[in-house]
Amino acid sequence: MSGANVVLAESTSPRILPGGYTIFRTDTFRLGLKGNRLNGRVIPDIVYRTSAGRTTGGPIFGDATGRYIIIATGSGTPPQPVFCCTRTPRDIPLEPDGRPDAPVTIAAALEGPLARYVLRNRDGTHTLVSYTVSDAPGQPLFQRVTRPLPDDNPSLIALAPGIIASVDAATGRTIRLSTISGVYDVFGGTVLAPQSGEITRLFVTRTMVVALVRTDTGYKLVRHDAPTWTPQVIWRGGRAPGLVAAGDRTVVFTNGSVVTQSVPGRIRNVLRLRGKLVALATDGRRVAVAERSTRGKPRKTAIVVASVLQPPGAYSPGGGS
């Protein structure tokens, strides 16, 4: 979800160029939204090309302005963060390093003019990169600033505007919140109470942290809301939910064939799936679902957008992932 758009990425079949070079690619598209309805327009955005190996799309991180970062994934190259778009719709690689031992991009977020992403280095340490993106003519990128993260060796990291959530690798149960101030400073902040099992997935927004925890009896989904960050279990099950997404103060996740939403103090079912869920996103006001038909050939993918329950208080604009 990126402003008034749903953004999706797809990898396409390889193309063999003259001379025998094989090119693999990932394309992104915007589907315009009016409220919670798609307006029917499909706008092609960027193309990520590589000859290193087959591409596989990748996670997308948007904001309220319509911009986004995709971490383009694939075999043969490290995940590549690509920004889109300035006034000139073009792909802007943020970390074009294809070496096999290059740092790996694991999380990204947009905050005003800053494109941020976290790199996992070969020695297990992590670096936060803040890159200023300009819409003026000429070079769109300037002032690349890097800072080491306070946590020495986290097992999981999630990033949102102004905040980083990480899981302590030694135990796999403790979440640390670090705040980001401006371009330069990263401060180690709050350490949340340990979970009762191993954290296997982690999500963060400006005002919420969500953890999927594996216990001796199954899985549970736990949310922590600012300012107290008190844990609240919103779901339990024998199997992990297929997909989870977070935006503003909304969590959406699959509960069997149903997409369920959680806001502070309330849980409700949003919609029932008719096909195979392949992507899920929310910006706090809406949920977008991509489901693939399991019948007939060729199989088609449908995009469904629905309004979600609003928590008490004002909505804070922002992207979802």
pLDDT digits (tens, 9 = 90+) for 32-59: 988 888 887 888 888 888 888 888 888 9
Q: Is the pLDDT of residue 315 over 90?
A: no
Q: What is the band of 109 on the pLDDT scale with cuts at 50, 70, 90?
A: very high
User: Across residues 77-98, what is the average pLDDT?
Assistant: 82
pLDDT at 79: 87
**Amino acid 117: pLDDT:** 94
> What letter does residue 94 receive in the DSSP assignment?
S
Dist CA 157 CA 195 (whole Å): 16
> Among 141-150, 185-194, 221-230, which is the least confidently predicted range?
185-194
Contact 186, 157 (CB under 8 A): no
**pLDDT for the residue 248:** 92
> 93: cis peptide before it, omega within 30°?
no
Of the candidates 194, 202, 196, which has an alpha carbon nearest to the alpha carbon of residue 218? 196
Q: Residue 316: what pLDDT?
A: 46
User: Per-residue confidence at 280, pLDDT binned at 50, 70, 90?
Assistant: very high
Give me the mean pLDDT over the 247-270 stretch: 91
SS3 content of the chain, % helix, strand, coil (to 5): 0, 60, 40
pLDDT of 165 strictly over 90: yes
pLDDT at residue 313 greater than cutoff 60:
no
**Res. 149: pLDDT tops 80:** yes
When pLDDT is averaged across residues 61-68 and rounded to a whole number, the result is: 91
Residue type, 208: M
Q: What is the pLDDT of residues 187-220, one digit of tens each?
A: 777 889 999 999 999 999 999 999 999 999 999 9
Confidence (pLDDT) at 183: 65
- DSSP label of 19: T
Query: What average pLDDT is seen over the chain?
Result: 86
On the question of pLDDT at 93 being above 90, the answer is no
Number of H helices, E strands in the chain: 0, 26
